[in-house]
Structure 1
Amino acid sequence: MAAYSDCPQELSDFLFYMLTIKGRSRKTVDAYYVDLRTFLRYIKAVKIDHGNVNDPDYFHQISIQDVGLDTISTVTLSDVYRFLDYTLSERQNNAKTRSRKVSAIRSFFNYLTVKENKLTENPVKNLEVPSVKKSVPKYLTLEESLDLLTHIDSSSKFYERDFCITTLFLNCGMRLSELVGINTYDLRENTIKLLGKGNKERVIYINEACQKALDAYLAVRIQPKSAEHKYALFLSSRGTRITPRRVEQIITYCLKQAGLDGQGYSPHKLRHTAATLMYQHGEVDIRVLKEILGHTSLSTTEIYTHISDKQMENAANKSPLTKVSPAKKKK
């Protein structure tokens, strides 16, 4: 926890709890740290120093090590609202960023109140999350997905590997980190065990296309360079476990070969694509989709279940009144 050495004890304990007990990823906990450090700097500035929070040079040098429970316990809901107003007016934080800060603050005070009983009352229990407009995620159409798979360079020495990677992304909706982390012993019959966010394991089923792609790749998989990489499923040209950056480069090149470059597509967009195709063409229930994607909240899955124009057209055509025509006007 050396990275959080500038935190007061209560915050340091909270971050450690989120990391080790709740199993949050290091990236998530680092985000909590940044957001709560900003919040406690603001609280110290207005309650203790009475300094000018609009002065960046002053604000970013505020130490929060002495912002203990005695100060934290004086925080009110009004203080938090003023802080959010400050992040909007002075720091130009958008709704999504402010929503993330609210989530961090709520988690912190819930920990102090419910888990540790260090506060008798939670001052932010009625704190509302700023409304965030959910944008439709970018994804490939079914036709574009087929184009991508059929335009992978078959003359490449690593064609089978690159085809398998792309096939898994488009069919399984796995994360980039999950794909590069797959080991050979994670493959069992028609399933793959994945290690997702917060070190949470889940098992997904694979279809015939994925199985054929895996069989073709495993038949030509190069010899690992060392025992360290012995079980890594996907290997680089050097015989080491393939890196996320290398996978991104492979997908970028394959997209270019298919004439789909320059449109903002990425491995994560292929995850969007898999989820969208399963929902729109496979009629997969949203609760099942949630488990496939490894989401903890159903609301997260809902962004993938956007309705296509074709679905809306089909819905309109299925109206029981669709065959009704106007009567001919009597002359």
Structure 2
Amino acid sequence: MNDVSFMELLSRYCADTHLKPKSVDSYAAAVRAARRYFGKETYPSMLSRERVCDWRRAILRSKDNPKGIVEVSWNNYARHLAALYNFGIKYQLIMVEENPFNRVRVREPRKPKKTIQPLTFRYVREVMDVCRRFEEAQDDPSKLYPAWFWETVIETFYYTGIRLNQLLHVKAKDVDLKRMIIVTSAEGSKTYSESIVPIADGLYPYVAKLMLAAHREGFRREDQLFNVNRFSRRHRRSEMDINQVEHFFKRLSGFCGDKVTPHRFRHTLGTELMENPDRNIRVTQMILDHSSIRTTMEYVHPSVDSMRKALNQRRRP
């Protein structure tokens, strides 16, 4: 039996499992956190369940440790490290018989998913409209340049609920304006599956404008479609990445006075679809690209008014 280090265990696991780059980053973050606490010279075989529980107690947020991590972050660490240990034990890479990260996860508080309120979204559209008009009138970049491009990104998130990683993987060839669909690749999907996203009537003018601009810029079929760098005098990267999108939404949030993110658009769409009296759970599941219907059901949150109405309809005995 071997006794490899955390870094070697991580390297072998990633090579054997063939993970996506984003998943590799998640596993690496868990390993870094463990090495920070236990020391860089600590090997996986040196950890016991008791030491893992001590680590959990030391880093979880509490009254005594208000700057600690939240439950979901700890569970991510525990889940990733448990997988590494299972791999190491199975292939006899580490000298332990039992996984110290088994059953050390904690219950996560259940909170309603954060959505974008209608008033906030009106502010979003007004801000983008002002920026676009300024650029058209002054032929000069606004604070959210190029505004027409970011308008298209915002409306795409609003109408489709697409994940950010899916958007970044959309290529020019994936948009079919005649059929009014966008094909999202398995590479960008959290569920590792290709899916078809319908282009709603309200979204169509924005996507059509983007496709026309891409044609004028000489896009090839395999080029990343949502790429601000190809339409901007300021941006110089070859492809648009997560950091550029998050930077834009951080600035947009500042102008609107409330937090606006791609995932909040997704939560908003899911919540609205499931609050519709004529909701179709299967359709919502397909739109949001959920692998399990249980995930879709998490968007079912009856309003206070509907709950009050149900209580008021009870008959007095």
TM-score, L = length of structure 1: 0.67
Partner-residue secondary structure (3-state), 2:196? strand
Distance, in Å, in 2 between the alignment partners of 1:249 and 1:81 is 37
Partner of 2:143: none
What is the Cα deviation at residue 101 of structure 1?
A: 2.4
Identity %: 15
Which stretch shifts more, 142-151 or 131-140?
142-151
Give per-residue Cα distances to partners, 1:102-144, cap 9 Å, x unaligned. Answer: 2123212222345x36678433475141122133333213454
Partner of 2:50: 78
8 Å CA contact 1:99–1:130 kept in 2: the answer is yes
- Gap regions ≥5 residues in structure 2: 137-145
What is the Cα deviation at residue 149 of structure 1?
A: 3.7
Distance, in Å, in 2 between the alignment partners of 1:236 and 1:180 is 15
* Aligned pairs, number: 286
Task: Write the letter of the residue equivalent to 1:277.
Answer: E
8 Å CA contact 1:84–1:98 kept in 2: the answer is yes
What is the Cα deviation at residue 212 of structure 1?
A: 3.2
What is the Cα deviation at residue 198 of structure 1?
A: 6.3
Question: Does 2:73 correspond to 1:101?
Answer: no
What is the Cα deviation at residue 291 of structure 1?
A: 4.8
8 Å CA contact 2:191–2:289 kept in 1: the answer is no
Task: Write the letter of the residue equivalent to 1:261.
Answer: C
What is the Cα deviation at residue 231 of structure 1?
A: 5.2
Partner of 1:278: 273
What is the Cα deviation at residue 37 of structure 1?
A: 3.0
Task: Write the letter of the residue equivalent to 1:27.
Answer: D
Partner of 2:27: 29
Partner of 1:307: 301
Work out which of the two has the higher radius of gyration on C-alpha atoms and give 1 or 2.
1
Distance, in Å, in 2 between the alignment partners of 1:79 and 1:216 is 57
Q: CA separation of 1:248/1:35 partners in 2, compared to 1, >3 Å: closer, same or farther?
A: closer
Partner-residue secondary structure (3-state), 1:193? strand
Partner of 2:41: 63
Partner-residue secondary structure (3-state), 1:25? helix
Task: Write the letter of the residue equivalent to 1:307.
Answer: H
Partner of 2:12: 13
Partner of 1:316: 308
What is the Cα deviation at residue 297 of structure 1?
A: 6.2
Partner of 2:197: 205
Matches within 5 A, 1:205-224: 205-206=197-198, 207-221=200-214, 223-224=216-217
8 Å CA contact 2:123–2:256 kept in 1: the answer is no
Give per-residue Cα distances to partners, 1:262-318, cap 9 Å, x unaligned. Answer: 212233322332332233237252x65455444566666566x1625xx23124324
Partner-residue secondary structure (3-state), 1:192? strand
Question: Does 2:258 correspond to 1:263?
Answer: yes
8 Å CA contact 1:23–1:199 kept in 2: the answer is no
Matches within 5 A, 1:113-124: 113-114=89-90, 116=91, 121-124=97-100
CA-based RMSD of the aligned residues comes to 4.1
Q: CA separation of 1:222/1:315 partners in 2, compared to 1, >3 Å: closer, same or farther?
A: same
Question: Does 2:208 correspond to 1:236?
Answer: no
Question: Does 2:175 correspond to 1:191?
Answer: no
What is the Cα deviation at residue 185 of structure 1?
A: 0.5
8 Å CA contact 1:138–1:272 kept in 2: the answer is yes
8 Å CA contact 2:214–2:225 kept in 1: the answer is no
Q: CA separation of 1:96/1:107 partners in 2, compared to 1, >3 Å: closer, same or farther?
A: same
Task: Write the letter of the residue equivalent to 2:313.
Answer: T
Partner-residue secondary structure (3-state), 2:183? strand
Q: CA separation of 1:162/1:9 partners in 2, compared to 1, >3 Å: closer, same or farther?
A: closer
- Gap regions ≥5 residues in structure 1: 43-58, 327-331
Q: CA separation of 1:288/1:219 partners in 2, compared to 1, >3 Å: closer, same or farther?
A: same
Q: 1:164 aligns with which of 149, 152, 176?
A: 152
Distance, in Å, in 2 between the alignment partners of 1:283 and 1:79 is 48
TM-score, L = length of structure 2: 0.69
What is the Cα deviation at residue 170 of structure 1?
A: 0.8
